[in-house]
């Protein structure tokens, strides 16, 4: 690193314990979304580089490098990664802010969260216990949580460090080796994680991290004949494509896909709390959050008040680069900005109202104005499809059944929320919302300790919490005949 706000210009893959360029020497430019300027470049993996990474992970798995460590040693190794990340917080946060666009305080938070994933799962490395199953005096029977082998992991650009860390930490805790394909639009923080993994003394080949385009490196990894498991976080469309590739070889997967999550606001809710919670829920990370609060479904008597106050809260946000810790930062790319703005323009053309925003901001970089859309219907495009930008759609309802029908009425099932002071209603509505996580009176309530994942097209499997580890192991049952005279009868 050189002067203030400058980062290393040239970045590489991490394969088999070494930092290397692509075999064909190609590179991907790294653009600062706050300015549109190229600030660095990173190696661009192709199928041949993916082959090398998978071969390294296979070799490390077959050599039982992780299984041969005592669980407490693996745990200490993971704690070392966490410590190194925390020591490098400022350096990594700067890289993330300039590469991804997010505010610097959030980037610091991502480093802390990444370290927490390693700490949390380090604590589980010696606690994943099997069962003993009674079969009578002639047998001993027990189960073992066996790793899959080579875990392929494909990461999106919105929270690359957190999402990458949670998958690698689970893999290390369960003795899987890793090949990670980082997002081409925001790869650098994971390259910094590779350095932390290396410096923590993780054996060569156990973790391999490379960067490349989805249709090249991503497709080569998902379609590779020698992976045993895949963790994907990204869009439904890409997830579905990857699942087709995996189906040929019956490779198991964890799928963390998109969302169109609704907060249901009853008239007895604390409206101050609704506004504060939703402002964070939709404008954090410029709305580029899979679990964003992208819809509010509001009981009619308080609908106008909520629209007006959300629009005021949106308009009051300080817009600017992440490095200035502005509240509303740029979206990741010009392509993404075009897509978001076009969706808003189509909504307004179809009769909706932009109570705030609705257009890009006239300044360098990729800034979308914080947008509140009202006066539309639950079946409209803007109310059904993931925008993945700072755009909130607010819809009215007249009774709880209608609220549930609207909230549950998309293809997605990632998150949902309820705002009410009535505890019984909160429980009853939470029970009927179709979502992997339900937030009551605070969007994003929960944490690293709580299982996270989707229902319906938002995916399956869970990340975070103890439960995530179950997505990285397969149960092996060992049944032992202790006495002579085995029956050999199946199912006896
Ligand atoms: P994306 O699906 O475009 O890309 C995700 C990753 O897949 C990237 O690394 C990309 O290079 C790779 N990829 C693209 N095409 C591929 C292919 N054919 N084969 C293999 N890999 C391929 O998603 P994105 O735009 O990076 O991220 C936004 C999406 O991710 C949103 O839908 C968001 O909701 C979702 N997301 C979900 C979660 C979650 O935990 N559920 C978290 C973050 C983001």
pLDDT in tens, 422-441: 999 999 999 999 999 999 99
132 plus 227 within the same structural domain: yes
Relative to the CA of 256, which ligand 1 atom is closest?
41
Q: How far apart are CA 207 and CA 209, in angstroms?
A: 7
Looking at residue 202, the DSSP 8-state letter turns out to be: P
Instruction: Determine, yes or no, domain membership for 484.
Output: no
DSSP 457-471: TTEES-BSTGGGGGG
Of all protein residues, the one whose alpha carbon is nearest to atom 13 of ligand 1 is: 214
What's the gap in Å between 386 CA and the centre of ligand 1?
13
Q: How far apart are CA 154 and CA 232, in angstroms?
A: 5
Q: 308's torsion region: left (phi>0), alpha (psi -120 to 50) or beta?
A: alpha
243 plus 342 within the same structural domain: no
335 plus 248 within the same structural domain: no
Relative to the CA of 234, which ligand 1 atom is closest?
30
Q: Are 455 and 435 in contact (CB under 8 A)?
A: yes
Q: What is the CATH number of the domain that holds 275?
A: 3.40.309.10
What's the gap in Å between 343 CA and the centre of ligand 1?
19
Q: Is 231 in the pocket of ligand 1 (CB under 6 A)?
A: no
What's the gap in Å between 207 CA and the centre of ligand 1?
21
Q: Could you give the angle at the alpha carbon of 117 between the alpha carbons of 50 and 293, nearest 5°?
A: 95
Relative to the CA of 414, which ligand 1 atom is closest?
41
Catalytic residue among 256, 299, 386, 463: 256
pLDDT, residue 486, reads: 67
What's the gap in Å between 130 CA and the centre of ligand 1?
34
Reduced to 3 states (helix: H, G, I; strand: E, B; else coil), residue 437 is strand
Task: Name the CA dihedral angle for 280, 286, 290, 294, rounded to a multiple of 10 degrees.
Answer: 60
Of all protein residues, the one whose alpha carbon is nearest to atom 32 of ligand 1 is: 235
Residue ranges in the chain modelled with pLDDT below 70: 1-4, 486-492
55 plus 162 within the same structural domain: yes
Q: Is 22 in the pocket of ligand 1 (CB under 6 A)?
A: no
Instruction: Say what the pTM is.
Output: 0.96
Instruction: Determine, yes or no, domain membership for 452.
Output: no
- CA-nearest of 208, 191, 155, 193 to 49 is 208
304 plus 369 within the same structural domain: yes
Q: How far apart are CA 452 and CA 418, in angstroms?
A: 18
Q: Is 256 in the pocket of ligand 1 (CB under 6 A)?
A: yes
Looking at residue 253, the DSSP 8-state letter turns out to be: E
Q: Is 216 in the pocket of ligand 1 (CB under 6 A)?
A: no
Q: CA dist 198 to 44, 85, 411, Å?
A: 20, 12, 41
Reduced to 3 states (helix: H, G, I; strand: E, B; else coil), residue 39 is strand
104 plus 213 within the same structural domain: yes
Q: How far apart are CA 259 and CA 414, in angstroms?
A: 5
Q: Could you give the angle at the alpha carbon of 424 between the alpha carbons of 421 and 425, nearest 5°?
A: 70
Q: Is 156 in the pocket of ligand 1 (CB under 6 A)?
A: yes
What's the gap in Å between 188 CA and the centre of ligand 1?
16
Q: Helix, strand, coil % (nearest 5) of the chain?
A: 40, 20, 40
Q: Which of 45, 152, 156 to mutate to test ligand 1, by most ligand atoms within 8 A of the CB atom?
A: 156
What's the gap in Å between 217 CA and the centre of ligand 1?
13
Tell me the pLDDT tens digit for each residue of 155-166.
999 999 999 999
- φ/ψ of 313, rounded to 5, equals -65, -40
pLDDT, residue 2, reads: 42
Q: Is 110 in the pocket of ligand 1 (CB under 6 A)?
A: no
pLDDT, residue 485, reads: 76
Q: How far apart are CA 342 and CA 129, in angstroms?
A: 51
220 plus 91 within the same structural domain: yes
DSSP 291-358: T---EEEEEHHHHHHHHHHHHHHHHTSPB--GGGT-SBPPPS-HHHHHHHHHHHHHHHHTT-EEEE--
464 plus 329 within the same structural domain: no
Of all protein residues, the one whose alpha carbon is nearest to atom 20 of ligand 1 is: 218
75 plus 119 within the same structural domain: yes
Q: Are 170 and 121 in contact (CB under 8 A)?
A: yes
Instruction: Determine, yes or no, domain membership for 451.
Output: no
- For residue 271 the two structure tokens come to 């409206």
35 plus 64 within the same structural domain: yes
DSSP bridge partners of 394? 296
Q: Is 290 in the pocket of ligand 1 (CB under 6 A)?
A: yes
Q: Which of 233, 234, 338, 454 to mutate to test ligand 1, by most ligand atoms within 8 A of the CB atom?
A: 234
Q: Is 155 in the pocket of ligand 1 (CB under 6 A)?
A: yes
Q: Are 56 and 15 in contact (CB under 8 A)?
A: yes
Instruction: Determine, yes or no, domain membership for 79.
Output: yes
- CA-nearest of 156, 178, 182, 212 to 78 is 178
Q: Are 10 and 30 in contact (CB under 8 A)?
A: no
Q: Are 253 and 232 in contact (CB under 8 A)?
A: yes
Q: Are 333 and 34 in contact (CB under 8 A)?
A: no
256 in active site: yes
Relative to the CA of 453, which ligand 1 atom is closest?
41
What's the gap in Å between 234 CA and the centre of ligand 1?
3
What's the gap in Å between 243 CA and the centre of ligand 1?
13
Relative to the CA of 235, which ligand 1 atom is closest?
32
What's the gap in Å between 239 CA and the centre of ligand 1?
7
30 plus 113 within the same structural domain: yes
Instruction: Determine, yes or no, domain membership for 487.
Output: no
Relative to the CA of 156, which ligand 1 atom is closest?
26
Domains held by the chain: number: 2
pLDDT, residue 5, reads: 79
Q: State the angle between helix axes of 188-199 and 71-87 in degrees (0 to 180), rounded to the nearest 10.
A: 130
Q: What is the CATH number of the domain that holds 26?
A: 3.40.605.10
Q: Is 238 in the pocket of ligand 1 (CB under 6 A)?
A: yes
Q: Is 259 in the pocket of ligand 1 (CB under 6 A)?
A: yes
266 plus 158 within the same structural domain: no
Instruction: Determine, yes or no, domain membership for 446.
Output: no
Relative to the CA of 183, which ligand 1 atom is closest?
9
Domain that holds residue 388: 262-440
For 245, what's the count of Cα atoms within 13 Å in the CB-facing half-sphere?
22
Q: How far apart are CA 148 and CA 472, in angstroms?
A: 7
Instruction: Determine, yes or no, domain membership for 490.
Output: no
Instruction: Determine, yes or no, domain membership for 157.
Output: yes
Bridge-based pairing state of the strands 262-265 and 295-299: parallel
């Amino acid at each position: 690193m050189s002067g203030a706000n400058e980062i290393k210009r040239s970045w590489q893959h991490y394969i088999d314990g070494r930092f290397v360029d692509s075999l064909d020497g190609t590179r991907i430019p790294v653009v600062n979304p706050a300015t549109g300027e190229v600030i660095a470049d990173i190696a661009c993996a192709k199928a041949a580089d993916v082959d090398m990474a998978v071969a390294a992970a296979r070799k490390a798995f077959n050599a039982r490098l992780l299984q041969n460590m005592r669980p407490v040693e693996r745990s200490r190794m993971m704690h070392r990664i966490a410590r190194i990340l925390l020591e490098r917080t400022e350096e990594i946060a700067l890289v993330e802010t300039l590469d991804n666009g997010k505010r610097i305080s959030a980037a610091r938070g991502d480093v802390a969260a990444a370290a927490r994933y390693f700490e949390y799962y380090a604590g589980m490395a010696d606690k994943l216990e099997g069962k003993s199953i009674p079969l009578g005096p002639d047998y001993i029977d027990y189960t073992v949580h066996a790793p899959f082998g080579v875990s392929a992991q494909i990461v999106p650009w919105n929270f690359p460090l957190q999402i990458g860390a949670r998958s690698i930490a689970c893999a290390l805790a369960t003795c899987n080796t890793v090949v990670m394909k980082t997002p081409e639009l925001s790869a650098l923080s994971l390259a910094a994680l590779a350095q932390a993994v290396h410096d923590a003394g993780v054996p060569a080949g156990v973790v391999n991290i490379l960067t490349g385009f989805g249709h090249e490196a991503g497709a080569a990894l998902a379609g590779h004949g020698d992976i045993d498991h895949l963790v994907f976080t990204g869009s439904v469309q890409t997830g579905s494509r990857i699942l087709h590739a995996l189906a040929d070889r019956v490779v198991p997967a964890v799928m963390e896909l998109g969302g169109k999550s609704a907060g249901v606001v009853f008239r007895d809710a604390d409206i101050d709390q609704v506004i504060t919670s939703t402002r964070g829920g939709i404008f954090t990370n410029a709305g580029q959050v899979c679990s964003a609060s992208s819809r509010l479904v509001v009981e009619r008597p308080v609908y106008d008040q909520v629209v007006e106050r959300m629009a005021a809260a949106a308009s009051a946000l300080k817009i600017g680069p992440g490095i200035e810790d502005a509240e509303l930062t740029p979206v990741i790319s010009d392509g993404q900005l075009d897509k978001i703005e076009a969706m808003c323009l189509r909504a307004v053309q179809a009769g909706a109202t932009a109570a705030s925003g609705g257009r890009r901001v006239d300044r360098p970089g990729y800034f979308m104005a914080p947008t509140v859309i009202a006066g539309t219907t639950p079946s409209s495009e803007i109310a059904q499809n993931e925008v993945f930008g700072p755009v909130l759609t607010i819809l009215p309802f007249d009774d709880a059944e209608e609220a549930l029908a609207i909230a549950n009425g998309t293809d997605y099932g990632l998150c949902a929320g309820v705002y009410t002071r009535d505890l019984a209603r909160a429980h009853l509505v939470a029970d009927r919302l179709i979502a992997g996580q339900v937030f009551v009176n605070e969007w994003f309530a929960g944490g690293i300790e709580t299982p996270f994942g989707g229902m319906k097209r938002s995916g399956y499997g869970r990340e975070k919490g103890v439960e995530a580890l179950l997505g990285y192991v397969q149960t092996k049952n060992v049944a032992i005949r202790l006495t002579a005279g085995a029956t050999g009868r199946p199912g006896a």
